[in-house]
Structure 1
């Protein structure tokens, strides 16, 4: 019977015979590791020219040309690779992809079936456990001497066999390696080899609490990524004393996940950027290229693109200058200008953001210039504020050479509906940060300001000795400024290599003349009046000024040493509430917090709009405010706190009076906003008038 069947074999149909032969031929092609490599290369990097493919496959010498041609011919004959004759490029076919996938599955399954230990790697493959790979990683990633790497690997291998773990992962092996390194006292090597990431529980919590993510999947991915880079900053980039100062609460680094990548504030002359045309080179290839703009449509489109792209290159704020002269030539079409600008602001607001508050964009308007255009920009901004629940864009009104009464009525209305407006003399951001750079350094300047010092902590540890307190401040500032100089170097390096394309295309922006390093002081009042025990009188305020003078002097000396512009500010930071919480836990709530308004330390100065009529230039708070404005070369944030019930007329009067008394201030009025539908068109307290939701922000 068997013999009969064997004799009948050749009588099978021709199709079956040819299929069987084709499969055998394909398996013979798979028998060569060189041919599998060629398929892998084309799958990941193709289409490729003959010479590109030959080089990537490792056939670099002339002697190997024939061997390479032989392997490629085999792949072409079995239709695993195809040649596009018009482009002279080789690509992998769908059949080739199937063969490649099959080869990988066979390899993985054979390892599993063999009963040997196999490793699920981080690059999505299964490989047989090989201790030599551990040695290679220790030497390459951790810079361990070979002898020590072999010794550590031997111990790790023993543990793996001892635990009889057949299901290994790359991260599990790394944990074992780091554990052995710590046991042998090699903490510095362990830090280099640590896997940066998040615990499974934290990932699940992020997915559960989506209320904290208001930027869709992009926000979720960014929050995860920034935690990884923040951990890298604190364990491997910053000097240990600076990282410890941040973690303990002596000082605070804002946005640590992007600290070494992008600057905090960018002051840009948008007129020059638009007129020259934004050069993006080979970056953002999916963004429309708009060369030098001529028509109003082109200018507003360019403005929208610049705001969107620049927002990605700063963590706190973009201050746009030059808008008034940019639009002066369109003064005959004001209604059209207002509509186009409203649209540009609305479009630019859709860009991604790096933190909960998002990068502010502020349009700087100089009064005393073309009032027609100034009013058009203000009206466009008012329209934008009406249709945006929480505006990302704000206005900075420079009243140094103009009358605030020309615009106060429109601005009062904008403030009452939740718009962001800052009043200042000179170049100031909405956080009160001054542009202290060389004005001749080009159309753009940068400040790095995200380091804040916890003055109450220093005061607690100074035993009521004011001289010792100032000495401690000087000591803490030096490493903080050194790390800021290191940060500037890292940002400059990454920018030059294309991480921030707009900055990269204008390399002078990262030169010394256009970058300021700013250290922020938090909780000055609590330190001097509450903890050190001085009275809030002339003597106490003299001490307050001495503290700032000490900080400014240290900054100037350190700046000369580093070759950088270094300044001191008192502005808003999320570090303020963190400091207060940490100090409350460490020293007891009453000791730190009994002189505070709310649950955070003082930041800058707060003026009450309801009391503004009683203030004169000699009133204590105003004279103190003006003295501090002169002392702080990095900027002082003065907040004008407006009552929730204030009318347009009240707000108008308050800002006009405040402008007589202080060189810069930011009016703040709380506006109720529905967290469900974003309604804010009229004041409400408990429930949204539109959707009846009680979720009020």
Structure 2
């Protein structure tokens, strides 16, 4: 019918169509007139990115801040409203951009970009982000301001850079491309120092793609990806801009190793915090972490408060240590609230589970948290209840990173009381729990690091220990001369201490500025806290026994003791020289042993590596005892092993990691208990069983030889111990 009517009245239909076209054309002209004003385009952009906004908010963001400009702003806004590019929600009194407004804004952006291309000029996409016309004066400013280059020299470099850039024939430049060009010119002229100051730090795009596509790279979700990316930047900054070149070269060459390089210059490795010293003066976060609840210790009235407090404390401190947080005084707090074993177990387990979501900086889940349990001052029932609660946490967590440290008064006390706790301890070890036992006067972390170096240290202590020396490399370069080896080791300690001293000043400055808020707000640490500097030694066994050739037990131990004494004495002397009293030497486990072994294999050949190691993939770290060795009948070997641990532990001022590997005894509960009991004469040790965890389903397996998960069949298996 409609078609017939048009046929019947052709003149009227044509007239109507012309009217519609004329109206549409007029509308388009009006919209283009709106686009002609940069102010109106800015208003659309603001509403598109930040709307809906009130009148005053929009006026302020658009730059019309004075009263004189109010009329001008109202005029532009009316224009946009009349053309339906902006709409007003009368109920909320807020302005929003319409779909038509978004279309117009997109069109304006396309026109702007096309005009840039057609102009023939060179434009730069900056990181702000914005598009700006290329200006060589900004290169000069960067060279002078960032690299401290003399102005005349900056002009010459910029002129050469500008000539190169105009040869690129690129429509768009980026600020990173310009910086790369500047750096290449600086290198050509031998200005490496200036180049290092201007270098852009970050990851190649291919690395980002690999991280996003790798399941293993995101085990803890987005947190892992963000942490890995940021640590890569800070690690590069450390090696290029913070450390002296000779020390950075030693690290890269494998003579020494800087662990946790991404956080090395930012936070300490280990924090020892005694909450009993802070009960009336809890952590004061001040203006930091405003979204985190404040709970002073005096406010803890019941076990429910304890759960909340512990999870908050671990979450905060885990952000400020790269390796471990050791908490003293926690257990008396929970035992003050309840005496019932079942409730102690339940509350402790719940508190640990709530704390397990604390942030982590590394793939391995560090930092770990160790809670000290004063076993000598508690009755056996309470300690057993705490161990039961910890067992619940371990059973529900595929890879636990909260551990407990059972502390006894002395060796006799430990041997007497240990029998009451052996069953739950053995069960925890078999399940993958992190548990250490000690009867020494000085507190230690699960890693073996001592809280006190020399005299007693009370209150809050932080340690800087993530620097290791490659002893097998030094031994190999000493031509089997033990005296020369010790002389080379003494020379290596000086730059190692220099690096740690630089780190101490950097970390102290960040604490002072409040960048490390939990430590900054700890008045106990600010007033009387201690910072320990510790050098770690890797591959002692390979150096003395295999490379230097001192195989016999007596002679080998004698040489090892001389090596350790040399390192401790030199470290103390060098420490006094630079004004540092809390300097120690340790033998603990970190990520350096495998790296050292791989680099030495490349440098000296795999035959050399196989001659120094049983498995040819890593060097020894600390001391390792095997449960089956301690249980061998009619053998004095177990006694000599314990004597070796005692003598080495006595020499090392910074700490010693002593691991009791009971993996082979894991299936025999009785034998496992006997092995732990046999090691109780050692001042500090950590019994452990090697387990496999599936990265796909999260299930744990007792066999460390599995290639595939026995539950889901996945080949993504992780060895934990």
TM-score for both structures, normalised by structure 1: 0.87
> In 1, Cα distance between the equivalents of 2:308 and 2:210?
40
Aligned to 1:360: 368
1:337 is the counterpart of 2:344: yes
Deviates more, 1:394-403 or 1:414-423: 394-403
Aligned to 2:328: 321
Aligned to 1:625: 645
Give SS of 2:624's match.
strand
Match of 2:586 among 569, 583, 588: 569
Q: 1:443 to 1:38 in 2, by over 3 A?
A: farther
Contact 1:254–1:575 (Cα < 8 Å) also in 2: yes
Aligned to 2:262: 257
1:462 is the counterpart of 2:469: no
Contact 1:41–1:56 (Cα < 8 Å) also in 2: no
Aligned to 1:649: 670
Contact 2:235–2:261 (Cα < 8 Å) also in 1: yes
Q: 1:544 to 1:46 in 2, by over 3 A?
A: farther
> In 2, Cα distance between the equivalents of 1:608 and 1:160?
64
Match of 1:247 among 224, 229, 252: 252
> In 1, Cα distance between the equivalents of 2:386 and 2:541?
39
> In 1, Cα distance between the equivalents of 2:190 and 2:717?
54
Deviates more, 1:290-299 or 1:508-517: 508-517
1:391 is the counterpart of 2:391: no
After TM superposition, the structure 1 = structure 2 runs for residues 78-97 of structure 1, keeping only pairs within 5 Å, are: 94=97
Q: 1:158 to 1:383 in 2, by over 3 A?
A: same
Give SS of 2:338's match.
helix
Match of 2:658 among 634, 638, 656: 638
1:659 is the counterpart of 2:680: yes
Shift of the alpha carbon at 1:247? 0.1
Contact 1:609–1:640 (Cα < 8 Å) also in 2: yes
Aligned to 1:607: 625
> In 2, Cα distance between the equivalents of 1:45 and 1:268?
47
Contact 1:438–1:513 (Cα < 8 Å) also in 2: no
> In 1, Cα distance between the equivalents of 2:108 and 2:492?
59
Shift of the alpha carbon at 1:263? 0.8
1:596 is the counterpart of 2:596: no
After TM superposition, the structure 1 = structure 2 runs for residues 65-214 of structure 1, keeping only pairs within 5 Å, are: 94=97, 107-214=112-219
> In 2, Cα distance between the equivalents of 1:68 and 1:457?
73
Alignment gaps of 5+ in structure 1 = 60-64, 84-89
Match of 1:380 among 374, 389, 403: 389
Q: 1:275 to 1:410 in 2, by over 3 A?
A: farther
> In 2, Cα distance between the equivalents of 1:18 and 1:38?
18
Shift of the alpha carbon at 1:237? 0.6
> In 1, Cα distance between the equivalents of 2:598 and 2:704?
32
Match of 2:434 among 416, 420, 426: 420
The one-character-per-residue Cα deviations of 1:551-598 (angstroms, maximum 9, x if unpaired) are 111211222233331100001011011111111111122324413232
Contact 1:570–1:604 (Cα < 8 Å) also in 2: yes
> In 1, Cα distance between the equivalents of 2:47 and 2:524?
40
1:404 is the counterpart of 2:406: no
The one-character-per-residue Cα deviations of 1:454-475 (angstroms, maximum 9, x if unpaired) are 0111112222232222222122
Contact 1:331–1:373 (Cα < 8 Å) also in 2: no
> In 2, Cα distance between the equivalents of 1:618 and 1:586?
37
Contact 1:531–1:592 (Cα < 8 Å) also in 2: no
Shift of the alpha carbon at 1:330? 2.4
1:540 is the counterpart of 2:545: no
Shift of the alpha carbon at 1:621? 2.5
Q: 1:312 to 1:77 in 2, by over 3 A?
A: same
Contact 2:307–2:354 (Cα < 8 Å) also in 1: no
Count of aligned pairs: 678
Match of 2:311 among 304, 320, 344: 304
Deviates more, 1:398-407 or 1:349-358: 398-407
> In 1, Cα distance between the equivalents of 2:55 and 2:569?
63
Contact 1:523–1:602 (Cα < 8 Å) also in 2: yes
> In 1, Cα distance between the equivalents of 2:528 and 2:54?
44
Q: 1:409 to 1:275 in 2, by over 3 A?
A: farther
Shift of the alpha carbon at 1:92? 8.8
Q: 1:696 to 1:44 in 2, by over 3 A?
A: closer
Shift of the alpha carbon at 1:47? 9.3
> In 2, Cα distance between the equivalents of 1:213 and 1:21?
52
1:496 is the counterpart of 2:496: no
Contact 1:342–1:380 (Cα < 8 Å) also in 2: yes
After TM superposition, the structure 1 = structure 2 runs for residues 408-557 of structure 1, keeping only pairs within 5 Å, are: 408-424=422-438, 425=440, 426-436=442-452, 443-506=459-522, 508-509=524-525, 513-557=529-573
Shift of the alpha carbon at 1:126? 2.1
Contact 2:224–2:363 (Cα < 8 Å) also in 1: no
> In 2, Cα distance between the equivalents of 1:345 and 1:179?
52
Aligned to 1:62: none
Shift of the alpha carbon at 1:76? 7.1
> In 2, Cα distance between the equivalents of 1:412 and 1:273?
34
Deviates more, 1:364-373 or 1:302-311: 364-373
Give SS of 1:368's match.
helix
Contact 2:277–2:524 (Cα < 8 Å) also in 1: no
Q: 1:55 to 1:418 in 2, by over 3 A?
A: closer
